[in-house]
Structures are given as structure tokens and as C-alpha cells.
Amino acid sequence: MRGGRKNLKRATEEKHVTLQEGQSIMQVVSLRGSNLIEVMDAHGDKSLALFPAKFQKSMWIKRGNFVVVDESGREKALESGSKVGCLVSQVLFYEQVRALQKSSEWPENFKSTITDDSKESLCNNTSRQENEIDPSDDDDGLPPLEANTNRMRPLEFQTDADSESSSDIDT
């Protein structure tokens, strides 16, 4: 493994994250394609952030994840006309987020987001269980699937019980 990938892997294994000057925690709102993401800070302001190429093919993010963003050149970039205002410096994983929630560095706005998401997921799980029990939703109004003709059917072997029953009939 090269040095850069080793350092990325080592950073993901650390549970304690310390924020440098000019860095803040932001939540991913949407993926804009290529290496641009839309993030929201603790005040609810949305901006575009650059997801560096060093993270590609080694880390993936999705909507709702938390990242550490370097905002040191944000004002200068916005004044020059650039839409990208910040750079992702670290992707936060589950253990790191849980450790940060207990510290004073975690923004208050995100605390309510986490609890709302967990309550929402609990509600979704209970509604899924209710839907699974309901037998009327079996076909969902869709036509039945056709047999796949691209695959050969496996050979059907006779079991001992089948061969005994056929021998009993013969005698």
C-alpha cells in the first residue's frame, strides 16, 4: 500500500477526531456528480464542497453522512466567483460520529437530526413489519414473472424415498 492510502486507512480507524482551525463538521445533503457534494453546516447554510480524488475508490459517502470540511478559503472563493466554497478533509464514520456527539465539538443542530433519523427509522421498521404480515400485498398489482429461458434447469435427482415407492408399485 502506498503512503497516502495507509494514512487514509489510519485516519478512519481513529475514534477521536480533533478539529483544526478553519475546519467544521457538515452533513452531506446531496451528491452533485463528479467530485462535488452539497453540504449543510450547523446553521443550516448549504454550500458546495469538493470531494478530493484521494478519497475516490477508497471511501464512499451518501446523503446524510457527516464530513469534516476545511472552510479556510470559503470567503475568498465566493468573492472570486467560484461556487465551490470548501474542501472535504475527512469522512466521519459511525464510531467517530458517536464519539463526537458526546464531545463539545458536535453542533447542536445536528443532535436533533440524529435523534429524528433514529426515530424515523424505527417508525419505518414497524411499518415494514406490518406490511410483511399483510397477505394482500403479495402481488402488488404486478404481472407474474416469466421463466428465465437463459438458464438450464438443474437435474432432478430421485431420492431414496421415490425409488422405494416406485419399486413397491412394480411388485
**Could you report the per-residue pLDDT of 11-54, keeping only the tens digit for each?**
777 777 788 888 999 999 999 988 899 999 888 889 899 998 88
What does the alpha-carbon distance between residue 90 and residue 69 come to, in Å, rounded to a whole number? 7
| Count of domains forming the chain | 1
81, part of any domain = yes
133, part of any domain = no
pLDDT of residue 39: 93
> For residues 17 and 100, is the Cβ–Cβ distance under 8 A?
yes
Q: How far is C-alpha 169 from the chain's CA centre?
A: 60
For residue 97, give the CATH number of its domain: 2.40.50.140
**Could you report the per-residue pLDDT of 47-88, keeping only the tens digit for each?**
899 998 888 778 888 899 999 999 887 888 888 888 888 999
Q: What is the mean pLDDT of the chain?
A: 75
